[in-house]
């Protein structure tokens, strides 16, 4: 599968298209800010009409899961979902099928001067291109 991931301020997936607001950044914070992931997955023709499992997780610069306090203790930040795309009528056999995804994430605290990465896995597999990294600004000096 081919995957494109873009960091944004907000995103929507509507009628097979991605609508992105404030997209393409790689530096945020240090204060908690909302963010979105605009994701386009190109599902190969021969993998359409099959269930797929995906996991999106936030990792720190050491490749460790980023933890947030949930009130029930610290928990890693991740999203898991399943998806299946169908082959549209009239599409030439062999054509990849697009799956646009928009994931809007509420503000949560991250360490200033940090480096982070959202990493996607599909069916337990990942690829260097299935990642998007960003940094947080240092604290303001008073």
Give residue-wise pLDDT tens across range 42-90. Answer: 999 999 999 999 999 999 999 999 998 888 899 999 999 999 999 999 9
- 28-32, 54-58, 96-100, 133-137: lowest mean pLDDT where? 28-32
What's the pLDDT at 140? 77
Is residue 16 within 8 A of residue 97, CB to CB? The reply is: no
Q: Indicate whether 37 belongs to any domain.
A: yes
Give residue-wise pLDDT tens across range 86-116. Answer: 999 999 999 999 999 999 999 999 999 999 9
* Confidence band of 141 (pLDDT split at 50, 70, 90): low
> What's 126's domain CATH number?
2.60.40.1930
What's the pLDDT at 70? 83
Q: Indicate whether 142 belongs to any domain.
A: no
Which range marks the domain in which residue 11 is found?
A: 2-136
Reply yes or no on whether the pLDDT at 142 is more than 60: no
């Amino acid at each position: 599968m081919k995957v494109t991931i873009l960091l944004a301020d907000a995103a929507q997936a509507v009628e097979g298209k991605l609508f992105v607001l404030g997209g393409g950044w790689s530096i945020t914070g240090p204060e908690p800010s909302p963010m979105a992931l605009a994701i386009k997955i190109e599902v190969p023709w021969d993998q359409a009409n099959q269930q797929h499992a995906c996991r999106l997780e936030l990792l720190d610069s050491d490749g460790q899961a980023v933890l947030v306090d949930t009130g029930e203790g610290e928990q890693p930040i991740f999203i898991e979902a399943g998806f299946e795309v169908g082959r549209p009528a009239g599409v030439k056999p062999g054509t990849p099928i697009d799956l646009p995804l928009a994931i809007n994430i509420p503000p949560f605290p991250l360490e200033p001067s940090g480096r982070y990465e959202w990493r996607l896995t599909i069916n337990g597999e990942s690829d260097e291109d299935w990642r998007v990294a960003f940094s947080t600004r240092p604290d303001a000096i008073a």
